[in-house]
């Protein structure tokens, strides 16, 4: 937007100023000396097809900024100190279900990496090595290492944050996807979609120390805050595998209904009492009571293929990334009512919440 204002004409100058302020709302280009991120909690959404991150203010449930990060952003996490947003970006072409992958263009490996966004300025700082086609990852609580799933290569890469380099690669089964660090920082769980297992990596030795069988096509993992239990969502199995996270063994399996459900993303309530599970193409959402391992509520019509999920810092609202409809659903955690749908970028995938 270009404005031409004449000196000495106060009414016109005031009008121009008001127009300029209006045009800058939500824009990163209008702050002098670099953009400043709004203060307070924020919800970050990765938009796989528009190559950017939408920043949502949970107090108003409006998008307040958009940040370019690179090709195909999917998994995203905040650093332990909350100052940096890490985002997995990939040069591999999208391959939706039913697509003949032999017809796709070759991958752009120069685009693979973990992008770093400064939360204070909302600026893309740099991109770290990650191995091929990073999809998701997690950070050790000490902030020293990332563990990254390399979907195309059937590997997990260990990235040393101090150097920004991959220091180790570990075979973890075909099509690794979900990566979650146990809260105590001693183990990392990596799901293998094709092998229907979780590979457990020791964070000190970087070796596989156990394998946990799951339902068909495991997608994500959530741990209880005390590191004693893991909940593993299996898309095609329509189950949640509950595992002893100390001994890495299956305790029980929770079936997920309705029949259309495809368990995808998982998130725990701040009090650790409720597990929330998105259902992908099932367009719904489960509430699971941790004490009983029972589904206590199913919310229908959450959105079109909800995948990523996050919980507001006060635990009152849930946010789901609904890819095909390019929006984020805001759900009341007490009633299950869908309060609002927020337009974001194209093909929203993952969600991270700053507290």
What 3-state class would DSSP assign to 6? coil
* CA–CA distance, 303 with 307 (Å, rounded to integer): 10
For residue 153, give the DSSP letter.
G
Give the pLDDT of the chain (355 residues) as one tens digit per residue.
Answer: 333 343 344 444 444 444 444 444 444 433 333 445 556 799 999 999 999 999 999 999 999 999 999 999 999 999 999 999 999 999 998 876 666 677 778 989 999 999 999 999 999 999 999 999 999 999 999 999 999 999 989 999 999 999 999 999 999 999 999 999 999 999 999 999 999 999 999 999 999 999 999 999 999 999 999 999 999 999 999 999 999 999 999 999 999 999 999 999 999 999 999 999 999 999 999 999 999 999 999 999 999 999 999 999 999 999 999 999 999 999 999 999 999 999 999 999 999 999 8
Rg (CA), the chain: 21
* CA–CA distance, 336 with 341 (Å, rounded to integer): 14
Per domain, the residue ranges of the chain are 39-354
Query: Nearest Cα to 343, choosing from 332, 331, 328?
Result: 328
Q: Superfamily for 39-354?
A: YVTN repeat-like/Quinoprotein amine dehydrogenase (2.130.10.10)
| Two structure tokens written together for 69 | 């990060």
* CA–CA distance, 2 with 130 (Å, rounded to integer): 41
SS3 assignment for 31-77: CCCCCCCCCCCEEEEEECCCCEEEEEECCCCEEEEEEECCCCCCCEE
Q: Give helix then strand counts, H and E, for the chain.
A: 1, 28
Cβ contact 74:65 at 8 Å: no
């Amino acid at each position: 937007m270009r404005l031409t204002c004449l000196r000495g004409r106060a009414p016109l100058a005031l009008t121009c100023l008001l127009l300029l302020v209006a045009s800058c709302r939500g824009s990163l280009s209008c702050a002098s000396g670099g953009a400043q991120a709004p203060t307070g909690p924020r919800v970050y959404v990765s938009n796989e097809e528009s190559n950017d991150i939408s920043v949502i203010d949970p107090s108003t449930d409006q998008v307040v900024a958009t940040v370019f990060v690179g090709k195909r952003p999917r998994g995203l996490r905040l650093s332990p100190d909350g100052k940096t947003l890490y985002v997995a970006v990939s040069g591999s072409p999208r391959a939706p279900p039913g697509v003949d992958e032999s017809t796709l263009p070759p991958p752009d490996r120069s685009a693979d990496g973990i992008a770093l966004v400064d939360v204070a300025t909302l600026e893309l700082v740099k991109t770290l090595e990650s191995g091929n086609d990073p999809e998701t990852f997690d950070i050790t609580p000490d902030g020293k290492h990332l563990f990254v799933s390399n979907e195309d290569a059937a590997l997990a890469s260990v990235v040393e944050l101090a150097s920004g380099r991959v220091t180790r690669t570990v075979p973890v089964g075909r099509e690794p996807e979900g990566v979650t660090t146990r809260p105590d920082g001693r183990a990392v769980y990596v799901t293998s979609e094709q092998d229907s297992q979780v590979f457990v990596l020791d964070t000190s030795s970087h070796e596989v120390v156990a394998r946990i069988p799951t339902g068909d096509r495991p997608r994500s993992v959530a741990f209880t805050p005390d590191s004693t239990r893991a909940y593993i969502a299996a898309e095609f199995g329509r189950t949640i595998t509950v595992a002893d996270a100390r001994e890495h063994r299956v305790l029980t399996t929770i079936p997920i209904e309705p029949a259309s459900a495809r368990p995808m993303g998982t998130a725990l309530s701040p009090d650790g009492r409720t597990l929330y599970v998105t259902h992908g193409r099932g367009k719904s959402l489960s509430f699971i009571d941790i004490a009983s391992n029972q589904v206590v509520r199913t919310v229908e019509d959450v959105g079109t293929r909800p995948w990523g999920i996050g919980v507001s810092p006060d635990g009152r609202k849930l946010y789901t990334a609904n890819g095909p409809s390019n929006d984020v659903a805001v759900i009341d955690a007490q009633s299950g009512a869908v309060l609002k749908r927020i337009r974001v970028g194209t093909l929203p995938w993952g969600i991270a919440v700053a507290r």
